[in-house]
Every structure is written in C-alpha cells, then in structure tokens.
Chain A
Amino acid sequence: MTGITQPSLLEIRSLLTQMLGNARDQVAMLPNLSAQVRALPPPNAELLSSPRFDRAALQTYVANFFRMPEDLEQGQQIRISFDSWIRGVSICVLPALEFEQAPDAATWENATALRALLCHYGTLWRGLVDVRWRIEDDQGFISDGIAAVTAPASQLAGDGEFSAPLDWRLNREQQINVTCINRLERVVDPECPTYFQRTLPWVAVAFWAERV
C-alpha cells in the first residue's frame, strides 16, 4: 500500500480495531471506514511518501581492472573502510575500438555497430567478462558446489539502473577479493577483423553499501 501516510493508516487501524471489537459497529461504521480509505493518498503520491530504501545506499566500494588482456585471470582487493552492509553489485565494462588507419564511413559503421551489439550479452558489456568474489578466505559465493568458479558478469551483477542484490555485513578492515577475466574471445574471434582492442581498457566492479 504505497503512498499512504502513517497518520491516516493509524486512524484506519484504530477504526478497524474498534469495529472488530463490537459486532454492531462492524456494519454501522463501514461507511466511515470506506470514506477514510478513499481519503488516503493516491498511488501516484508514492514518490513523495515512500522512498525505495530506508537507509543510505551511498557508499560504493570499487575494484578497477585496467588494460585487461584476454583470458588472463586478474585479482583485486577491496578494503572495507567502515562497518558496512553490502547491498548490491554492479559491473561496467568499457571495450575500446582500434583503427590502424583513418576509418572510412563503412568501417566506422561496422565497428560501432558491432560494439553496440555486444551489449546484447549484458548491458554495459557485462557479458565480456567473467567474475567471482570471496570475502577474505571465505570461498563459495560463486561456485559449482565444490570449488569456486567464475561466471559471466551479466549473470552475477547489475548495471547502473539496477544492482544485483547482495546481503553481506562486513566489518571494517575486512577484504573482498574480486577476480575478473576478459572473455572477449568468447564472442569475438581473435582472427575476426572487428576493430576491437583485444585488451579491455577498464572493467569496474562496484559494490553498493551502507555504512552501519
């Protein structure tokens, strides 16, 4: 029941309690109850009366991978600066173009169109990398049940418009270890003349957190 302010809801609650306590009131007070429910704010008041989070989703912990070569596992550590509640994770990959000579119109067209098409495997090119993470030595957050595995970032993380939910309470000085692999060759054959840089300039892994 979004968009309902607390005082009105409390009044309705109080009226319901009174009605349920007295069989005669259950019918006699129905018009009054109906009027009160009709007077509640309409659903479109949601923005003004119901924030989507009740705490600050402000702190962001990031692991940056720069100039990632193909098929080579790299790791980064994030140190938790404050007691934090990790709420979600987003990933952005930035693939770059590369031209050996000034591109003509057709080359531009092909290169940019192919680059855009790679977003079909996950917005913000998340399908181009595999990731996994662990908290200090605690493995198993992404596993096959026996050992840790890497999985496509498009399946594990969100982007700026949504984040994949997580729920970790971490203490200050704990560490998150993030491992990332460039999987560009999974969708683009190295022999294919696509004008892509095989090295990814930047992969950013962002954990959204609240300070506890």
Chain B
Amino acid sequence: MSRAQLLALVDQAAADPSSARRLLERAQFLVDQELRTAKFPPDGYVYAGAHTLVAKFDTLEVEDLPDPNDPRIRPLSQTTNDPEEIKIPFDMLIQGVSAWAIPELPTSIDATQLRGVLQMGVAPDGRDLFSLAWGLDGDNLYCTDGWKSHLLPAGCMVGTRANPRPLAWMPGRGRILNVWARNLTNAICPTAYASEIDIGWPLSVTVEFHGVKLEAAR
C-alpha cells in the first residue's frame, strides 16, 4: 500500500458520498494493516539523518597461501591483518553494508598483465577479490562456524552501493566496530610458472556501513 492508494480512496469517497462508508472502511483496513506491519523506530527514538561509516584499507597486501604441510600458515578464512576500527559516533540503526575494491597496480605492469588483473574481478565492485568479517569491541564472533571466527568472501558478505546487504543493527554510541579484510587475489590466480609477474596484487578496499542516526524522541 502507498500513500497514493490511500489518497485515491479518500478522493473517491469525496466524489461519491454514497459509497463513502465502504471506501473509508477500506482505508481504515489498509491503515490498520500498515500499523501492524510497519517498521517504526525503536521506542523513544526518531530517525534523524542518513550516515555512512567507512573502513578503508588503503593497501591490502596478499598473505601467504595455506599449505597442507605447514599448519602455521592460516587458512583463507583467517587473516594476520589488524582490523580497521570505526567508532560509532552516536546511537545508530545500521541498515546495510556494501564494499568496493580496486587493484593497486605497480607502474611497471604491462598491458597484458593489466588486462588480466582487471578482468579477474567478476563480481560487481570487485567483491570477489577479498574477504571480510566484522565484530564489535574486538569480538569477531559474529562470523563463525560455532568454534572460531572466520572471514567470508566479500561477495557473499556484503552488497554493492546500489544494493547494500540489509542489516538492522543498533550499536550504541562509543562502541568500536572492527572490520577485518584479506586480499584473495593470490588465491584465485596462483601461478605455478616462474613468477614473471607478481602473485596476487595489492588492493584498495573500502567497506561502508549505511545507517541512520537515532535521536531521542521529544
């Protein structure tokens, strides 16, 4: 139902008073239905302004690939990178998350290599080139198999700016949102031949949490 539908019913009732009762009952039904199902702000709050919280990884380098013979090297779902921190500036309702990655290429790369590298990112916004996880106040157990935390390929963890992955999450003011990321370019393009080109390439990654500020209702 939309405001236009409601307005149409009211206009019809004005044009035809003999059917006003039936039309108003219909309008009341629609309003009742909306009141039952609409998502309103949490008690005591009103929504006030859209905000975007951003975690930037300027140069996300590749990490060693896992080796079955060397258990010290972490699996692809783990990282040695430190998390980026976002301090939540005010009470917020985070409604979605998106991310974006672009290769940071050395100037010496030739056109063939450049073309190959740029074609490796197939998912929109290069989300298949890296993995992600997030947590609050250092606790990254929001992405877990039940035993330990994991990163997940960003392609299935986040959406694009046009279509962010929906979240509905209310971290309080002052809490720290940690974001972990790992470069996967060397996992999807390993090179068994003598390394005439670098294995994997650094990425610039940006993760955006989109939300609205919550203000206390007067």
* Residue pair A159, B3 in contact (C-beta under 8 Å): no
Q: Given A1-B1, A124-B123, A124-B153 in contact, is the A80-B146 Cβ separation under 8 Å? A: yes
* Residue pair B143, A1 in contact (C-beta under 8 Å): no
Q: Which of B55-63, B82-90, B101-109, B114-122 contacts A (4 or more CB under 8 A)?
A: B114-122
A48 at the interface (CB under 8 A from B): yes
Interface string of B107-142 (1 = CB under 8 A from A): 000011101100110110001100000000000011
Q: Once the chains are docked, how many angstroms separate the CA of A10 from the CA of B111?
A: 63
Q: Once the chains are docked, how many angstroms separate the CA of A65 from the CA of B69?
A: 18
Which residue on B lies nearest to A54, using beta carbons?
B39
Q: Once the chains are docked, how many angstroms separate the CA of A58 from the CA of B166?
A: 9
* Residue pair B157, A16 in contact (C-beta under 8 Å): no
Interface string of B1-24 (1 = CB under 8 A from A): 111011100110110010011001
* Residue pair B116, A112 in contact (C-beta under 8 Å): yes
A-B contact sample (8 more), CB < 8 A, given A48-B212, A54-B39, A81-B141: A1-B6, A6-B40, A96-B189, A97-B188, A99-B193, A102-B193, A161-B159, A202-B77
Binding site for A on B (CB under 8 A): 1-3, 5-7, 10-11, 13-14, 17, 20-21, 24-25, 27-28, 30-32, 34-35, 38-41, 47, 49-50, 66, 68, 75-77, 93, 95, 111-113, 115-116, 119-120, 122-123, 127-128, 141-147, 150, 152-160, 163, 165-170, 184, 187-194, 196-197, 212
